[in-house]
Structure 1
Amino acid sequence: MRVFGFIIFFIYAYLELSFFIKVADSIGVFLALIGIIATSILGLFLIKKQGLKNLSIMQQKIANQQSPKNEIIKSVSLLFSGFLLLIPGFLTDMLGAILLIPRVQEYIVRFIVGKFPFKVRSFSSSSNVQINDVIEGEFERKADE
């Protein structure tokens, strides 16, 4: 399994370096480096803006006792996008930018929600109980050592 990880890493590094060399050859090394830094800064700004917007939507849904599962999945895609934008290289910047597109995020949300039956049970502070969904699972208690 470790060998497979190393192979994937070296393939990624080869592709990233070859793409950087082609871009630097056409626009210059200095502009290519500035481009990588600029996309990282721009990506972090966009992620911060979209992340705060997504957080406020989650808070509204929780206040209205609705399930925020779509917003949680979008937050994970924003986090992954931010990680890709921080990694230096044009290929990872392109993948990170693609994950910032709202239509792509909606597709990812629909794909993940369709694969996994997320269930959430929410209780209100009043006497009536609203059941939106149920989370099923198993757990095991481990004694402290």
Structure 2
Amino acid sequence: MAPALGRTPYARRRRRPRWLAVIALMLLVVPILEIATIIAVGKVIGGWQTLVLLLAESALGAWLVRREGGRAWAALRTALRTGQMPSRQLADAALVLVGGTLLLTPGFLTDVVGFFFILPVTRPMARRALEAVVARRLLGGVFGGRGRGPGGTGTSGHTETSGPEGPDVIEGEVL
């Protein structure tokens, strides 16, 4: 059977990004888990106490977002003013923004993740994870494999090899 006009037999079909499926699943699962957690906590400590605890978490979260957001913004302005690359400051600002959004969502589970992103003690761990994800995505495009870094196999089927100094370089001239 001949391939369709304009398509090669090796043409890849365009797939939806995997993150769309993850977000759709999270939009279904997270509210159910939050409601179940609020009901479980309410059964243990009582309904009014649960409501007061949720309001106290929101107030503490709003105060932390304001404080840490101001610090992240000041650090970003300082880095830009001094001519430094503001990668750490941008990551911190993004984590504070996402953490603040999670703290605005009522529930205990999203508050735990939000506090993890905002607290100065735990934010470096979240920043390292974010940097690893971004590096893997960026290097995956450079080396051909999806989400693979140096040493991974690319789409052409060969394996990148590198010595102690880095990948082998073959000099040549393009005509």
**TM-score, scaled relative to structure 1:** 0.70
- CA shift, 1:63, in A, is 1.6
Secondary structure class of the residue paired with 1:57? helix
Instruction: Describe how 1:21-40 pairs up with structure 2 within 5 A.
Output: 21-40=39-58
Instruction: Describe how 1:1-145 pairs up with structure 2 within 5 A.
Output: 7-114=25-132, 115-116=134-135
Structure 2 unaligned spans of 5+: 1-15, 139-175
Secondary structure class of the residue paired with 1:102? coil
- CA shift, 1:21, in A, is 0.9
Q: Whole-Å Cα distance in 1 between the matches of residues 124 and 35 of structure 2? A: 31
- CA shift, 1:105, in A, is 2.0
Q: Given the superposition, is the C-alpha separation of residues 68 and 17 from structure 1 closer, same or farther in structure 2, using an over 3 Å criterion? A: same
Q: Whole-Å Cα distance in 1 between the matches of residues 68 and 41 of structure 2? A: 29
Number of residue-to-residue matches in the alignment: 117
Please give the per-residue CA displacement for 1:75-128, whole angstroms capped at 9, x wherever unaligned.
1000000011000111111111111232432233334435437xxxxxxxxxxx
- CA shift, 1:3, in A, is 8.2
RMSD after superposition: 2.4
Q: Given the superposition, is the C-alpha separation of residues 36 and 61 from structure 1 closer, same or farther in structure 2, using an over 3 Å criterion? A: same
- CA shift, 1:7, in A, is 4.7
Runs of 4+ displaced beyond 6 Å: 1-4
Q: Whole-Å Cα distance in 2 between the matches of residues 6 and 67 of structure 1? A: 34
- CA shift, 1:30, in A, is 0.8
Q: Whole-Å Cα distance in 2 between the matches of residues 21 and 75 of structure 1? A: 33
Structure 1 unaligned spans of 5+: 118-145
- CA shift, 1:8, in A, is 3.6
Report the AA paired with residue 47 of structure 2: V
Higher Cα Rg, which structure: 2
